[in-house]
Amino acid sequence: MSLSEIEKKIKFKNFVDLSKEEALQVLEYRNLPEIRKNMLTKEIIREDDHFKFIDGLKSDRRKEYYAVVFNEQIFGVVNLTDIHLTNQSALWGFYCMNRPIKLAGKTMLWVFLNFIFEQKEINSIYSIILESNKRSLDVHKLFGFEVYQSKDMINLVLKKDDWLKKYSEQVKQFIESQ
Ligand SMILES: CC(C)(COP(=O)(O)OP(=O)(O)OC[C@H]1O[C@@H](n2cnc3c(N)ncnc32)[C@H](O)[C@@H]1OP(=O)(O)O)[C@@H](O)C(=O)NCCC(=O)NCCS
């Protein structure tokens, strides 16, 4: 299957529309040690806090969380926080839960960036990575993110023009060549 065909089959299901089972599935992965170790908030998230959080998203215009679905199966989570409508920017975050397709992580992120820059009024995506998260740093560099600060955390940014004019196609070719 080509990447464009896979893209058509990937859906972003807003957390506020998840069933109870789906919300619990997402929480289970978010609480796994190998996911938590790469997150800025490392504590185990309790079930009732998770449901309160999802409920709060309904009235929070600065945050959007999506389960990433392929063939009816949730395989990742992507989110935008700190959404600023005035300067058209947001911070993104993500984790991959399982691998129904080859290069599941990069594919999910490629589709998400196309979705953000083509369908939302956002011109800059910011990212914060822990220094220890080499895998994520490599992915960000491949995707055209530029480091603008690096102390305990690595701060990066990707501009809409760079993505649409250069990196979207470049990453597509990379994924299809693997
Ligand atoms: C960052 C992330 C989404 C994508 O990373 P990635 O390495 O580019 O992932 P890809 O899906 O493109 O995988 C590339 C290859 O690495 C290997 N790999 C990646 N993740 C793996 C995993 N969880 N288990 C086993 N192998 C894995 C596989 O060989 C894979 O190739 P394949 O899909 O053909 O088998 C994923 O590593 C992740 O969820 N990390 C934890 C959460 C996180 O760090 N989030 C970002 C915070 S800033």
Residue 67 has pLDDT above 90, yes or no: yes
Pocket lined around ligand 1, Cβ cut-off 6 Å? 35, 38, 93-96, 99, 102-106, 129, 133, 135-136, 139
Residue 80 has pLDDT above 90, yes or no: yes
Q: What is the pLDDT of residue 148?
A: 96
Q: What is the pLDDT of residue 1?
A: 86
Q: Domain holding 168: CATH number?
A: 3.40.630.30
Calculate the alpha carbon distances from 132 to 17, 128, 135, 154 in Å. Answer: 34, 12, 9, 10
Query: For ligand 1, atom 4, which residue shows the shortest CA distance?
Result: 105
Q: Which of 99, 125, 150 to mutate to test the pocket of ligand 1 (most atoms within 8 A of CB)?
A: 99
Which pLDDT band, with edges at 50, 70 and 90, does 84 fall under? Answer: very high
Structure tokens at 69: 């679905």
Give dist(CA 63, CA 118) in Å, integer: 18
Please report the sign of the dihedral spanned by the C-alpha atoms of residue 127, residue 18, residue 98, residue 143: negative
Residues paired with 67 in a beta bridge: 13, 77
Q: At what angle do helices 104-119 and 134-142 cross, to 10 degrees?
A: 50
DSSP state of 40: S
pLDDT digits (tens, 9 = 90+) for 129-142: 999 999 999 999 99
Ligand 1 nearest atom to the CA of residue 97, by list position? 39
* Residue-averaged pLDDT of the chain: 96
Q: Do the beta carbons of residue 121 and residue 88 sit within 8 Å?
A: yes
Residue 151 has pLDDT above 90, yes or no: no
Domain that holds residue 135: 3-177
Give dist(CA 39, CA 58) in Å, integer: 23
Q: Tell me what percent of the residues of the chain surpass a pLDDT of 70.
A: 100
The count of domains in the chain is: 1
Rounded to the nearest whole angstrom, what is the distance from the C-alpha of residue 92 to the centroid of ligand 1?
Answer: 17
Mean of the pLDDT values across residues 48-75? Answer: 97
Q: How many residues does this entry show for the chain?
A: 178
CA nearest to 64, candidates 98, 87, 31, 90: 90
Give dist(CA 37, CA 85) in Å, integer: 31
